[in-house]
Amino acid sequence: MTDIVTNSFRLAEDYANLADCFTANNPYAVYLTTITTAGASRPGVNGTRVRTDRRITIGSGFLSYAPGDGYLNPTFVREDGLQIVLSGGKLQDVRYLVGPLVYPYTVGTLSGGFDTSNFQPSVDVGNTQVYLHLFGPGLDQVHGNYFAIEEIQTQGNVHYKVCITNTGKLVPA
């Protein structure tokens, strides 16, 4: 397919996912958290730790009239497709999916998407850890929950889902 056709499909898919946002079915704020330790890190000597949090959204990312805080959150469900209702802040028993998310696109003045390379730690930057940090119903209401990225399930070259599992621990800043 040509780039314009592929990008148009990605745009259409991205905006098709907005229906869940407007019916308040996506209450989970999802952040890509990257923690990099540069320099020496051995007993008695700590390297420099840098933490970066980037919110993952769909569509245009934010609409003032969208439910909640206005951010357009991606879908977060159990891998078997069941909705999460109550977990006591744990969510450790099964795998979860975030998405569908679309690959980056630009169509005219509209752009969006989220590149899968963002979920891979950079090889040339010391010790790097990548997590998804979620806040929402059924999760730890103070700190949120950190999830390890298990795999990316691609569905053609238009969209993908990120399969995650709860780490069960607080990740240091």
Does the structure show a pLDDT above 90 at 132?
yes
| Count of Cβ atoms closer than 10 Å to residue 88 Cβ | 9
Q: Which residue ranges make up each domain of the chain?
A: 3-166
Q: What is the pLDDT of residues 25-35, one digit of tens each?
A: 888 999 999 98
- Mean pLDDT of the 44-62 span: 83
Task: Sheet with 127-135: list strands edge to edge.
Answer: 48-56, 29-38, 127-135, 145-155, 159-166, 96-102, 76-78
Alpha-carbon separation of residue 97 from 2, 65, 74 (angstroms)? 29, 26, 10
In the chain, pLDDT over 70 holds for what percent of residues?
A: 81
| Count of Cβ atoms closer than 10 Å to residue 10 Cβ | 22
Q: What is the pLDDT of residues 70-118, one digit of tens each?
A: 899 999 888 876 655 555 545 556 788 999 999 999 999 989 999 999 9
User: What is the signed CA dihedral for 37, 53, 167, 45, rounded to 10 degrees?
Assistant: 20
Under 8 Å between Cβ of 120 and 130? yes
In degrees and rounded to multiples of 5, residue 142 shows phi and psi of: -95, -50
The pLDDT assigned to 124 comes to 66
**Residue 45 has what DSSP assignment?**
B
Strand ranges in the chain using DSSP code E only, listed in sequence order: 29-38, 48-56, 76-78, 96-102, 105-107, 110-112, 127-135, 145-155, 159-166
